[in-house]
Chain A
Amino acid sequence: MKKPNQTTMILLAGALTLALLIAFGAFFTWWSLASPRKTCLSCHEMQTNYDNWADSYHRDINCKSCHGGALSNGWHSMLENGRRVVGHFSGNSRPELAMQEEQILRILPRCKGCHEAEYADWQAGGHSVTYADIYLDATHNHTEQPHNDCMRCHGMFFSGNIAEIVTPVNNQGPWRFVDAEKAEQPVIPCLACHHIHRPGQPAQAPDYAEPQMIASTRPARLVNVEFYVRSEKTHFAAADLPALKLWEGARPVQVSDDVRQRVCSQCHAPDAWHQAGTSDDRTPRGVHEGLSCLACHAPHKHETAQSCGNCHPALSNCGLDVKVMDTTFRDPASKNNIHFAKCADCHKDGRTSTRKAG
């Protein structure tokens, strides 16, 4: 056989490289555009996760957009996948695919990619609180030592126990993080209240051909909040969470039937006896009894600044401009807590001195 000369070898090598590049490009394009059933699912054993996603309102967003690619999640991810391969062939597979906290937190900026306004509101609100804000709060820790139950609402995706977050676990301190990187991590990320694979339809533009029909034909907006229950390691739809039963002494308090409020009640909850105003309960009573949290608190940012104007002064029973009243809306130290203010707080004898007769 005649030995090929150097030019032929170079040409062949070049042609082979070009062919490989074209093949790789074609494969990559297909891989990026094909259904996850044919790509991700061909290796990852996560049929249930796939089915949930395929039925979800995020079904138009491919896996990679939120979860990243096989190589983009670092060594930890590759190591985990490697363990799963070993487990698969050794018959010791772990069927549950649950994301670790670091993977959850890595998704946050990807949420921001589409929900920028909501992300900005979350950052500006109280729910963007960090591990440092919660677990290094000396005032709190001196009164009540850090406990595993804190993670029910603060750090619900952390898989370890309290001793793996903060040390020492006592009420003496001084406290510091076991892993210093935790300090700036949020303890209530988006996924605490949102289930990305929640069933639903992707948002669609209305039919502008008949503008007058847009309002009447628009599908009802579904409740889009869920709560991640740490003990069960899963999300519960707001409608599947229990409605709060609350008492003020022996009197049952009327609680809003807004199912979204059930998510709030999971953390802003009364004590075990469900007495109104105990523990972190903020359920409206008094003049605001029966109102939903969402009647005043805007989603994500939870600000209330503009909410009074939604009802007042039209609904004011005493003719006062409530926006200038002495309430916690203007002054946190006010004795007239907006959540609990009653008519009798001002009208001790049951009569008004501010409203003129006639």
Chain B
Amino acid sequence: MTVNDISRRRFIGQTAAGLGVVSLLGCSAHFSHWRFFTEEEAKLVEAITGQIIPADDDPGAIEAGVVFYIDKQLVGPLAAYQADYRRGLPLLQHTCRKMFGKTFLELKWEEQTTVLKALESGNVDQQEWGEQSPQRFFSLLRDHTMQGFYGSPRHGGNRNYISYKMLDLDMPYIIGQNRYRQS
């Protein structure tokens, strides 16, 4: 069939259908909350941060939204660590399955702690981890959790200055101006 064989009716019909499909595709696009993580990765990282800074009398890393900090920074200043997370998180899950036959999120609190302690001490199957160091990955998770918990909310974590309130720091500062006085 050549271009000359296409009737006006068919041309209009196909154009309309094409526009409709394009519109529908655009309108049905799915957007995620996350910039770097998948939903599953985000849940996993959130649980890990909750282990590193758990809530007690004060809120912990989950309440402070630390996972949002890590997710945000991994597409910004911390982009160099993207590969560490992409490789490390599945390896962590693999370690969980090997140790307890479950994924990290399915583990009890104490079991999650055990897995993370194993990572921190390097007491995992080194062959599975290969070039990726479990100690280094744990250190990375801990550092990023601390940064997200104690850093400024503008970087994505420390929701509503949760950690500053815990430390009894008044933020934002209540401080006036060096106002002159007319006498």
Residues in B whose Cβ lies below 8 Å from that of A150: 177
Q: List B residues 166-183 near A (Cβ within 8 Å).
A: 170-172, 174-180
Given known contacts A16-B12, A48-B33, A280-B179, A42 and B26 CB-to-CB distance under 8 angstroms: yes
Question: What band does the interface of chain A fall in when counting residues whose beta carbon is under 8 Å from B?
Answer: 35 or more
Query: A229–B160 Cα gap in the complex (Å)?
Result: 11
User: With a CB–CB cut-off of 8 A, which chain A residues contact B176?
Assistant: 268-271, 278-281
Q: Select from chain B the residue with minimum beta-carbon distance to A44.
A: B31
Q: Which residues of A contact B29 (CB under 8 A)?
A: 42
Residues on the B chain within 8 Å of A237, using CB: 160
Residues from chain B with a CB closer than 8 A to the CB of A16 are: 12
Q: What's the nearest-Cβ distance from chain B to residue A93, in Å?
A: 8
On whether A271 and B175 interact (CB within 8 A), knowing A38-B27, A144-B180, A232-B152, the answer reads: yes
Specify which chain B residues have a CB less than 8 angstroms from the CB of A233 in the assembled complex: 154
Separation of A234 and B161 alpha carbons in the complex (Å) = 12
Residue B59 lies at the interface, judged by CB distance under 8 Å to chain A: no
* CA gap between A265 and B153 in the complex, in Å: 21
* B26: chain A residues within 8 A (beta carbon): 42-43
Q: Which residues of B contact A38 (CB under 8 A)?
A: 27
B8, B26, B33, B177: residue with the most chain A Cβ atoms closer than 10 Å:
B177
**B-contact 0/1 string along A18-54, CB 8 Å cutoff:** 0000010001000000000011011101011001000
Residues of B within 8 A of A48 (CB): 33
B26, B27, B174, B178: most-surrounded residue (chain A CB, <10 A): B174
> Residue on B with the closest CB to A41?
B31
Of the residues A140, A240, A244, contact of B174 by C-beta under 8 Å = A244
Q: Contact between A149 and B177 (Cβ–Cβ < 8 Å)?
A: yes
Indicate with 1 or 0, residue by residue over A238-281, a CB within 8 angstroms of chain B CB atoms: 00111011000000000000000000011011111010001111
Do A242 and B160 touch (CB < 8 A)? Answer: no
* Residue pair B180, A231 in contact (C-beta under 8 Å): no
Within 8 A of A (CB), among B62-78: 72, 75
Please report the C-alpha to C-alpha distance between residue A38 and residue B28 in the assembled complex, in whole angstroms: 7
Known: A143-B180, A269-B176. A47 touches B152 (CB 8 A): no
Q: How far is the CB of A23 from chain B (nearest CB, A)?
A: 8
Q: Is A12 an interface residue (CB 8 A)?
A: yes
Q: Convert A138-150 into 0s and 1s, putting 1 for each residue whose CB lies closer than 8 angstroms to a CB of B.
A: 0010011000011
Q: Which residues in B have their C-beta under 8 angstroms from that of A93?
A: 75
Tell me, in angstroms, the Cα distance from A192 to B32 when the chains sit together: 29
Where the two chains meet, the residues of A that have a C-beta atom closer than 8 Å to any C-beta of B are: 12, 16, 23, 27, 38-39, 41-43, 45, 47-48, 51, 93, 95, 140, 143-144, 149-150, 227, 229, 231-234, 236-237, 240-242, 244-245, 265-266, 268-272, 274, 278-281
- List 23 contacting pairs A-B, 8 Å CB cutoff, sorted by A: A39-B27, A45-B31, A47-B33, A48-B33, A51-B33, A95-B35, A95-B72, A149-B177, A150-B177, A231-B172, A232-B154, A234-B153, A234-B154, A240-B160, A242-B172, A242-B174, A265-B174, A266-B174, A269-B175, A269-B176, A271-B175, A272-B175, A279-B177
B interface, CB within 8 angstroms of A: 8, 12, 16, 23, 26-29, 31-33, 35, 72, 75, 152-154, 160-161, 170-172, 174-180
Extra A-B contacts (19), CB below 8 Å, given A234-B153, A279-B178: A39-B27, A42-B29, A47-B31, A47-B33, A95-B72, A140-B180, A143-B180, A231-B152, A232-B172, A233-B154, A234-B154, A236-B172, A237-B160, A242-B171, A266-B172, A269-B174, A270-B174, A271-B175, A271-B178
